[in-house]
C-alpha cells in the first residue's frame, strides 16, 4: 500500500524542466571556430621570428674596413699613420669595401679624386693614377726656400706669381727679384707635396704638384722651368 502511494506521488510531479538557481551562470553557446584566421596568425608569428633572426645574424656578421680620417687629395696614397683607420661595418657583398687588412696593398694606389675625411673607403675611389677634373691640368714645380710657405701641404689653395728680376743699379746688380702683382694662376690646388727628406740635397728644392685650369698651365710651366714662380697660400674661393 505504501509503495503505491509513493508511486502515485511521483506521478503528480510537474514535467517542466528545472530552472537554474539564483546566481547560476547560463551555459555559453559554442564559439564558431575560424581555422583560417588562426593559421594566418601563426604564419605572421613565424615570419616575424624569422625576420628578427636574420637581422641578428646579419648584425653579427661584421668586418673591419678602411675609413678615411683626413682628406686625401687626388693623386695621394693612404697612410695608416696619418689618414686612415679601421672601422667595423655590417658585411654587404654589394658594397666594394676595402678590408683593413689590405691597407698595405692600398697604399700603393692613388686616390682618383679628392676623398673627404670621415667616409668609409671603397675600391672605386682608388686606382693606379689620379683622374684630373675636366678642364684641369697638373703642373709640377721645383721651388727654392722663400718661394713657398714653409707649412704648405696637400689640399691648400694657392696663387702663383711670376718673379720679376731685379735691375742693376750703381756698381752691382741686386741678383734677386720680386713677385709681380698679377698672378700666373689665381686659384690652384696643391695636389701633392714631396717630403722634405726627398728634396734634392744639392739644391734643397721642394717639389710640389698643382692642379690648375688648362688655359693657365702653359704660362705656369714656363715660369716654373726658369725658377721664376712664387707660391702663396690664399683663401678658398667661394
CATH of the domain at 84: 3.90.1210.10
Residue 13 lies inside a defined structural domain of this protein: no
Which uninterrupted H or E stretch holds 166? none
User: For residue 219, is it within any domain?
Assistant: yes
Are 91 and 145 found together in one domain? Answer: no
- Average pLDDT of the segment spanning 82-105: 92
- Flag whether 99 is in a domain: yes
% of the chain residues with pLDDT over 70: 70
How many whole angstroms separate alpha carbon 231 and alpha carbon 163? 10
pLDDT given for residue 106 in this prediction: 92
**Residues 6+ positions from 76 with CB-CB distance below 8 Å:** 110, 111, 154, 191, 192
Give whole-number Cα distances, 112 to 57, 177, 178, 179, 236, in Å: 35, 38, 36, 33, 21
* Domain identity same for 212 and 141: yes
pTM, entire model: 0.50
Q: Can you give the residue range of the structural domain that contains 89?
A: 62-127
Which residues neighbour 159 within 8 Å (Cβ) at sequence distance 6 or greater? 183, 185, 186, 187, 188, 231, 232, 234
| Residues 50-67 pLDDT 10s | 777 666 655 568 899 999
Query: Do the domain assignments include residue 27?
Result: no
Asked if 117 and 140 sit in the same domain, the reply is no
94 with 113, same domain: the answer is: yes
Residue 163 and residue 218 share a domain: yes
* Residue 95 domain flag: yes
Say if residue 144 is in the same domain as residue 187. yes
Is the same domain home to 221 and 152? yes
Q: Rounded to the nearest 5°, which phi and psi values hold at 11? A: -70, -20
Examine the domain organization and report whether 103 and 123 are in the same domain. Answer: yes
Quick one: 89 and 107 in the same domain?
Answer: yes
**Whole-number average pLDDT of the chain:** 78
Domain count, the chain: 2
| Residue 210 lies inside a defined structural domain of this protein | yes
Q: Do both 207 and 189 map to the same domain? A: yes
Q: What is the pLDDT of residues 169-200, one digit of tens each?
A: 333 333 445 566 789 999 998 888 886 555 54
Please say if the pLDDT value at position 29 is more than 50.
yes
> What's residue 126's pLDDT?
92
Q: Is the pLDDT of residue 44 over 70?
A: yes
Which of 28-37, 118-127, 168-177, 182-191 has the least mean pLDDT?
A: 168-177
For 90, phi and psi rounded to 5 degrees?
-70, 135
Rounded CA separation 216/212 (Å): 7
pLDDT of 38 > 80? The answer is no
| pLDDT above 50: residue 35 | yes
Bridge partners of residue 36, in order along the sequence: none
Instruction: Establish if 145 belongs to a structural domain.
Output: yes
- Range 113-147 burial, b when 16+ CB lie within 10 A, else e: ebbeeeeebeeebbeeebebeeebbbbebbbeeeb
Short-list 126, 128, 152, CA closest to 208:
152
Amino acid at each position: 500500500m505504501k509503495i503505491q502511494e509513493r508511486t502515485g506521488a511521483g506521478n503528480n510531479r510537474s514535467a517542466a524542466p528545472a530552472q537554474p538557481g539564483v546566481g547560476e551562470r547560463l551555459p555559453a553557446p559554442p564559439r564558431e571556430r575560424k581555422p583560417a584566421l588562426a593559421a594566418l596568425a601563426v604564419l605572421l608569428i613565424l615570419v616575424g621570428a624569422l625576420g628578427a633572426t636574420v637581422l641578428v645574424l646579419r648584425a653579427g656578421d661584421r668586418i673591419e674596413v678602411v675609413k678615411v680620417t683626413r682628406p686625401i687629395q687626388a693623386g695621394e696614397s693612404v697612410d695608416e699613420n696619418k689618414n686612415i683607420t679601421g672601422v667595423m661595418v655590417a658585411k654587404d657583398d654589394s658594397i666594394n669595401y676595402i678590408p683593413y687588412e689590405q691597407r698595405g696593398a692600398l697604399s700603393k694606389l692613388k686616390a682618383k679624386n679628392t676623398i673627404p675625411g670621415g667616409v668609409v673607403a671603397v675600391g672605386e675611389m682608388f686606382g693606379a693614377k689620379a683622374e684630373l677634373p675636366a678642364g684641369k691640368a697638373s703642373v709640377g714645380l721645383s721651388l727654392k726656400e722663400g718661394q713657398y710657405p714653409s707649412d704648405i701641404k696637400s689640399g691648400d689653395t694657392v696663387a702663383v706669381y711670376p718673379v720679376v728680376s731685379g735691375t742693376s743699379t750703381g756698381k752691382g746688380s741686386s741678383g734677386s727679384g720680386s713677385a709681380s702683382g698679377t698672378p700666373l694662376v689665381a686659384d690652384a690646388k696643391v695636389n701633392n707635396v714631396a717630403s722634405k727628406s726627398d728634396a734634392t740635397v744639392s739644391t734643397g728644392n721642394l717639389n710640389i704638384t698643382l692642379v690648375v685650369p688648362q688655359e693657365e698651365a702653359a704660362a705656369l710651366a714656363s715660369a716654373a722651368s726658369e725658377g721664376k714662380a712664387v707660391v702663396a697660400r690664399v683663401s678658398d674661393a667661394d
